């Protein structure tokens, strides 16, 4: 995914104070924090978390709960929950035997070309849509691991779409802002996209009387309910073939998009072997390419393993400096080497500790490394985000970490006429201008150029941390390129600094992605660690405008006590459910 839109920075989120809790009688059930024994689901939406919990309580496992939650999120969190996008699911049983990654990243349509975005006419909304992967990806995971029937898992989503659900404060604000911000036409120079490109978006998500959404009002989506019913009855063919596929193809033709019925029928997710790394005796399990998330996370942790961060303190300028420098080096390699493994050779050294030790040796402990010093043979020219994450654990301690996306907030804002669902704008994640890598953060390296059928590079980073042969932490986040560094911060908070999961999720975050040169930090970090930030500036670090980062719904398993703590991130909205 690309850098986050500044939309998130405009929202007025309050970072709540961290409360240290040393004892909780069981069970503890708050809206955003749950401590329980049997199983838990945590995500951005309460009705979706309820759907996942229902699956667990009905005898389903973590994959069943993840599938039910994901389909419900397609109804209750339309900015990112989806059936018209794609993502990754990481499944790890407690003994790690048979662990799997399900890569259901979107792919470029057959008509896509390397230079399709060079001309601005190629950037209209419909042309930015990749072939969706979510439905077939969830079906593949369910076929491999699921216990409950496919139809049973989708029924809660059907009911939520048919009968409606109460809009919470965060979604009401997002709906109002997005409707006000959505142009009434999408006509780039030379584009054939009709001026009514977003009319269906306004019809599906706007109120009939044109008034603003208020907390507690019900959003009803009957056309989406009908699509979900077809998927429930017919399986993934209810999306990729037949009536729904015809609706998508017609929408593409109407708006000058590239996806055809043949593209939809041909789409297949991929089951992959999880990427594995280690850090201080913890095992890190994450997703391999086509996502860059796991590779960059493990590379950064391998670099940091060469330093005693704990002795220096979590918020010392020395620790913050080393974390920033490790981010910078991992993201430089991300830009140089990572892309769809079907067409790119990924250097094995990116996961090698000896290579990381060499990178660590290039870090000056008293000076920020200018990004251009790390460019190597990448030629520098002068020329957003909206994802959601859910974590699940079941009574057998099988863990699921699932991140999926529409790319930008509300994706392309193209709603399929007659289908009521949003399509992604994931083609944004390819390199728009091949060969153009600049100081503002545009990447144009060959590994991620557009090609027909190719998976665009992702930063999604669903992650499961293990200790002593058992699952310990389930985490992940939305946030474009910031995803990797949000996960890095949460993992360090738990493993290196021993924070409880509630504190680890609430703690302020930062981000550096090689180019641009600047470091992004959350407002709370500036406020709480002003002296450390001042010292970092003296060392040569430059800071971007502060912004809220990520939405890391996480679960910590206390194996010795037989307990689970699920912590919803409070930065947007969130719900933790357990039993």
Number of other residues whose CB lies within 10 A of the CB of residue 256: 18
| 152 vs 231: CA distance, rounded Å | 11
Which of 560, 565, 550, 578 lies closest to 9 in space, CA to CA? 550
| 25 vs 14: CA distance, rounded Å | 28
Q: What percent of the chain has pLDDT over 90?
A: 80
pLDDT score for 190: 44
Q: Decide if 291 contacts 343 (C-beta within 8 A).
A: no
More confident position, 386 or 448: 448
| 79 vs 103: CA distance, rounded Å | 21
More confident position, 442 or 538: 538
pLDDT score for 266: 98
Find the DSSP H helices in 343-399: 353-361
| 497 vs 494: CA distance, rounded Å | 6
Q: Decide if 462 contacts 403 (C-beta within 8 A).
A: yes
Q: What are the tens digits of pLDDT across the range 261-277? A: 999 999 999 999 999 99
| 546 vs 519: CA distance, rounded Å | 9
CA quadruple 426, 428, 433, 438: dihedral positive or negative?
negative
Q: Is the model's pLDDT at 81 over the cut of 60? A: yes
DSSP 36: E
3-state secondary structure of 525: helix
Q: How far apart are the first and last CA of the chain?
A: 35
- Delimit the domains of the chain by residue range: 1-11+24-579
Whether the pTM exceeds 0.85: the reply is yes
Q: What is the mean pLDDT of residues 529-555?
A: 97
Q: What are residue 229's phi and psi, to 5 degrees?
A: -65, -40
Number of other residues whose CB lies within 10 A of the CB of residue 407: 31
Catalytic residues: 387
pLDDT score for 399: 98
Q: Is the model's pLDDT at 481 over the cut of 50? A: yes
More confident position, 175 or 379: 175
More confident position, 449 or 137: 137
pLDDT score for 29: 66
Each residue of 234-252: b (16+ CB within 10 Å) or e? bbbbbbbeeebbebbbebb
pLDDT score for 7: 39
Q: What are the tens digits of pLDDT across the range 24-64? A: 345 666 799 999 999 999 999 999 999 999 999 999 999 99
Q: Is the model's pLDDT at 258 over the cut of 70? A: yes
DSSP assignment string, 242-260: HHHHHHHHHHHHHHT----
pLDDT score for 8: 38
Q: Is the model's pLDDT at 381 over the cut of 90? A: no
Q: With bands split at pLDDT 50, 70 and 90, how would you rate the model's confidence at 547? A: very high
Q: What are the tens digits of pLDDT across the range 184-207? A: 654 444 444 454 678 999 999 999
Q: With bands split at pLDDT 50, 70 and 90, how would you rate the model's confidence at 379? A: low
Q: Is the model's pLDDT at 452 over the cut of 70? A: yes
pLDDT score for 104: 98
pLDDT score for 151: 98
Q: For the chain, how big is the Rg over CA atoms in Å?
A: 22
Least trusted range by pLDDT, from 229-233, 327-331, 342-346, 430-434: 430-434
Q: What are residue 65's phi and psi, to 5 degrees?
A: -65, -40
Q: What are the tens digits of pLDDT across the range 285-295? A: 999 999 999 99
pLDDT score for 438: 63
More confident position, 524 or 438: 524
Q: What percent of the chain has pLDDT over 70?
A: 89
């Amino acid at each position: 995914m690309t850098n986050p839109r500044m939309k998130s920075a405009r929202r007025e989120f309050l970072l709540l104070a961290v409360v240290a809790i040393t004892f909780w009688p069981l069970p503890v059930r708050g809206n955003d924090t749950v401590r329980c024994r049997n199983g838990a689901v945590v995500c951005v939406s309460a009705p979706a978390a309820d759907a996942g919990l229902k699956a667990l309580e009905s005898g389903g496992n973590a994959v069943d709960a993840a599938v039910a939650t994901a389909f419900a999120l397609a109804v209750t969190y339309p900015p990112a929950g989806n059936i018209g996008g794609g993502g990754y699911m990481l499944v790890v049983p407690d003994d790690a035997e048979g662990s799997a990654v399900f890569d259901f990243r979107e792919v470029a349509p057959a008509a896509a070309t390397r230079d399709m975005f060079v001309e601005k006419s190629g950037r209209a909304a419909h042309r930015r849509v990749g072939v969706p992967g979510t439905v077939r990806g969830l079906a593949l995971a369910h076929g491999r691991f699921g216990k409950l029937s496919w139809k049973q898992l989708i029924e809660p989503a059907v009911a939520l779409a048919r009968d409606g659900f109460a809009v919470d404060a965060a979604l009401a604000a997002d709906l109002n802002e997005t409707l006000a911000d959505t142009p009434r036409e999408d006509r780039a120079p030379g584009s054939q996209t009709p001026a009514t490109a977003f009319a269906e978006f306004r019809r599906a998500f706007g109120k009939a009387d044109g008034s603003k959404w208020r907390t507690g009002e019900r959003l009803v989506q009957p056309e989406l309910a009908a699509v979900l019913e077809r998927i429930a009855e017919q399986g993934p063919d209810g999306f990729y073939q037949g009536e729904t596929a015809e609706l998508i193809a017609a929408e593409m033709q109407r708006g000058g998009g590239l996806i055809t019925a043949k593209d939809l029928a041909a789409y297949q997710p991929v089951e992959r072997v999880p990427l594995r790394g280690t850090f201080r005796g913890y095992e890190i399990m994450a997703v391999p390419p086509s996502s860059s998330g796991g590779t960059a996370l493990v590379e950064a942790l391998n670099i940091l393993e060469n330093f005693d961060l704990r002795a220096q303190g979590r918020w010392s300028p020395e620790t913050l400096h080393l974390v920033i420098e490790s981010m910078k080096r991992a993201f430089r390699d991300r830009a140089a080497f990572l892309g769809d493994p079907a067409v790119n050779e990924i250097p094995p050294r990116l996961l090698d500790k000896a290579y990381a030790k060499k990178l660590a040796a290039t870090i000056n402990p008293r000076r920020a490394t200018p990004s251009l010093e790390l460019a190597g043979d990448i030629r520098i020219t002068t020329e957003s985000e909206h994802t959601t994450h859910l974590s699940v654990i079941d009574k057998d301690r099988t863990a699921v970490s699932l991140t999926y996306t529409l790319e930008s907030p509300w994706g392309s804002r193209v709603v399929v006429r007659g289908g009521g669902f949003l399509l992604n704008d994931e083609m944004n994640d390819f390199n728009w201008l091949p060969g153009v890598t600049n100081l503002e953060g545009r990447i144009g390296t060959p590994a991620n150029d557009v090609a027909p059928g190719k998976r665009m590079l992702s930063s999604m980073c669903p992650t499961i941390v293990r200790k002593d042969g058992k699952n310990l932490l389930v985490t992940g986040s939305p946030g474009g390129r910031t995803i990797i560094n949000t996960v890095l911060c949460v993992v360090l908070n738990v493993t290196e600094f021993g924070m409880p999961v509630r504190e680890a999720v609430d703690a302020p975050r930062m981000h550096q992605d090689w180019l641009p040169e600047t470091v992004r930090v959350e407002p709370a970090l500036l406020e709480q660690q002003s002296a450390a930030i001042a010292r970092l500036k003296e060392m040569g670090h430059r800071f971007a405008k502060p912004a809220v980062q990520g939405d890391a719904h996480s679960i910590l398993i206390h194996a010795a006590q037989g307990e689970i703590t699920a912590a919803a991130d409070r930065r947007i909205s969130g719900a933790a459910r357990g039993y």
